Structure 1
Amino acid sequence: MRHVTAVLGDITTQEVDAIVNAANNRMRGGGGVDGAIHRAGGRAILDDCVARFPDGLATGEAGWTTGGLLSARWVIHTVGPRHPGDRSLLVSCYQQCLAVADSLGASTVAFPLISAGVYGWPLDDAALAAATTLRTTPSSVTEARIVAFDRAALEVVEAALAASP
């Protein structure tokens, strides 16, 4: 059984095998989590994005790059849906990230709340989608951390974990 936890902090400093980037379709860096990961990880992440994703990445899909200067070996990039939108695409992001982690052999992965920032997904639903999907999707990942950016988000994630199967 996978251990899913909520932590307060900066996703770029998590000591895990892989961190998840809530990217945009272009895969060339951006704002929010995406910008923070690219800044902290350095140019190698962007160069790998350009090489691996010349045409970008579709919403709901995931792929990986080097972690660059991050302590995490890999960055798993996924493109969440904008709200209002198709919730199944949000769930797919988490499922696809776990599949990519499995292909890499990553056992510990840190996730942001995908689509809960500038893409406008309601925080309560984003947290519930994350908690439920991370707990119920078959995977070899042994630890999934949901990294909350502030105390209010942490409380929402903790409530979602308490309510999820």
Structure 2
Amino acid sequence: MAKATLTRVRGNIVEAEVDAVVNAANSSLLGGGGVDGAIHRAGGPEILAACRELRAGPYAEGLRTGRAVATTAGRLPARWVIHTVGPVHGADADGALLLASCYRDSLRVADELGARTVAFPAVSAGAYGWPLRDAARIAVETVGETETAVTEVRFVLFGESAYEAFAEQLG
């Protein structure tokens, strides 16, 4: 294992042509707003059906913050969706550790799947209120330090401010 190449692009994560797209999910795994809603809408009913199966089985109580699990990508150009639940900013004293765990655990799941290219959004930096610059720092540092078989991690950033925050971190 080595460390992945990190890149950033401005765009819509549902259009990312990668092995796995990371979803900034909520703990229910049943869809929501922001990135989560966009992935469920674009991926079609197959993603929701797979999430319902997870809820009927090992994730009956939902997915814990900082953890990740994979499903089909349905109609997305990716093969898999890796769902991770980011922390709400300020809701937990260990929030930064949980946010870092989202990235590490998503890469662990990607390795288990055999994914070599992974697209991440800015986890927790939307509705969960994480300050964008800090979210970018945690994401880039964590992914940069994590040993993985993934060869490319692409941060797919929807807005200009997110793109710039990641640009500052990536150099």
TM-score norm. by structure 2 comes to 0.93
Query: What amino acid maps onto 2:133 in structure 1?
Result: D
- Deviating more after overlay: 132-141 vs 32-41: 132-141
Match of 2:96 among 75, 87, 91: 87
Letter paired with 1:109? V
Matches within 5 A, 1:1-165: 1-54=3-56, 55=60, 56-84=62-90, 85=92, 86-162=95-171
Summarize deviations over 1:94-146 as a string: whole Å, max 9, x none. Answer: 00000000000000000000000000000000001111111111100000001
Q: Which contiguous aligned blocks of 4+ residues in structure 1 show a shift greater than 4 angstroms?
A: none
AA aligned to 1:139 is T
Matched position secondary structure for 2:147: coil
- The DSSP-based 3-state class of the residue aligned with 1:145 is strand
Secondary structure of the corresponding residue to residue 84 of structure 2: strand
SS at match of 2:87: coil
Aligned-pair CA distance for 1:53: 3.1
Aligned-residue sequence identity (percent) comes to 56
User: Contact 2:132/2:162 (CA < 8 Å) preserved in 1?
Assistant: yes
Give structure 2 stretches of 5+ with no counterpart: none
**Structure 1 segments unaligned to the other structure (5+ residues):** none
TM-score between both structures, scaled by the size of structure 1: 0.96
Deviation at 1:153, TM superposition (A): 1.2
Q: CA RMSD in A?
A: 0.8
Which string of whole-angstrom CA distances, capped at 9 and with x for unpartnered residues, describes residues 25-76 of structure 1?
A: 1110000000000000000000000102332100000000000000100000
